[in-house]
Structure 1
Amino acid sequence: AATAARWLADGGLRDPETHVRWSYLDGATERLFDEHEPAEPPYQIRLQPELRAEPTGLEALDELLGPRARWSWFQSRGVLHWWPSLLPSHREVVAADYLPDLTHPGVPVRWVRDLADADGPAREAMALVLAFQVARADPEAAALLVRMAARGDLPAEDVGAQVALLLRRRPHYQERQIVGVLADAARQGAYEAVWRLLTRLLPTLLPAPGERSRVAHVEAVTLAADVAAWAGARGPIPEVSAYAAAGGRSRFSRACVRLCDQLGHG
């Protein structure tokens, strides 16, 4: 009780620092993406959370907030659904513990919903958990974004960055489905958050160098133009400006010009 009172008087239990490391198997060798980006998307990726917390002096709590095991697939999976209730004020810690299961076997959306309703910072780990729901176009993904945006809790830019990473590193995700999720969230009122998300994601939704524009590219830029208008957004997106400046009469070129005009950089 005295320890809890001291924490409360001092602002509560400190939030751990979290970080996510992506790795993949290169033959029999495990490599980190940030040290050696593969030439082709790997078949299997792994997500390793890193937590750094100030020691509390309480063994059980320090173990809960301490470094994670290197391999933890299926570890304690039978009780993972309890964890948002175990740490309702530190959802980033729970999100970090869900990361090793995100790619396989997966994290049920009801667990993510519990995290969306919890408290505490939502940083890189929580953003990645949400990004998986968006990337796989879960039927509840848009509602999750709206739910957190309404509370002011959505780490929109981080979610956009993580969805972009997923598209590059797990290219089986469908761009048009992702755009559909974001369109639903924007139409339900989360257009400002969706715009912030798109500022990080949109460059990845554009054609690669030498690639012809596809329907998915047109839909992504059209959505961005709509959302920018609703949010009153301003400021250039250099990748879009480059396509707009190149000219052309295609639907994609016209969509880029419209977006640039909306942003005040036509």
Structure 2
Amino acid sequence: MMTRDTIRRGLFGLLLLGVVLTLTGCRGTTWSKKEEVRIGQQVAAEVEKAYKLDPDPAVQQRVQSIGQRLVAVAGDKDFQYSFKVLDSKEINAFALPGGPIYVFRGLIDKVGDDDDMLAGVLAHEMAHVNRRHANKQYTQGLWRGIVIALATKGTVQDIAQITDALLQLRYSRQHEYEADRLAVEYAYKAGYDPHGMLRFLEMLQQEEKIGNRWVETNLRTHPFSDRRAAEVRKHIERITGQPVREAAR
């Protein structure tokens, strides 16, 4: 879910990671789980150099607590999950290979005290990790070309072009729908109301209607929120055995 404006200033260090990956053996057609964890940890270190973590310990604890409840019911023992809040007003969240998950403070403020909605967002990002969607991007050549370009170039002029290429990376619609489906299941198993994910998507719909620039940018690389919301309703009804109540809509 990262957008151009919010991550450009931190990408130089992140992009140089491509050289490290090439020199440390990630030359195959896929990453092993151990490689995903290592890659995720290295990129996370660069993210935290580029952004400040939110200074409010209560906010950090809230996100960590919800995240760990999700890990308890749906975690992969081979991954190293972490849940942190970045000090930015963006309504955004993203996951890195192997387990690091970040939420922007703007999203926290937007969901307010709705832990079920926040759990849906974290579960969605966790699903991207568990299903190894970044790895699938790599096998399709989306990361590989950037890694090779960095290993052979890396000048200031090249970085701008490589940055633009990286920002075009996106999860497929199939991956987004899969992450939504699993988010509903994870949240439900962890004891959260699965309608929270639906409320979040409906919030995006409202932001889209009023012309929120972030939503417009985000939806270029994500399925339209109305289609996603319709699919999530079906998943909620399937796992609960009950029709989606009007209050969630």
TM-score (norm 2): 0.30
Which of structures 1 and 2 has the larger relative contact order (alpha carbons within 8 angstroms, sep 6+)?
Answer: 2
> Could you say which structure has the larger radius of gyration?
1
TM-score w.r.t. length of structure 1: 0.29
* Higher helix fraction (1 or 2): 2
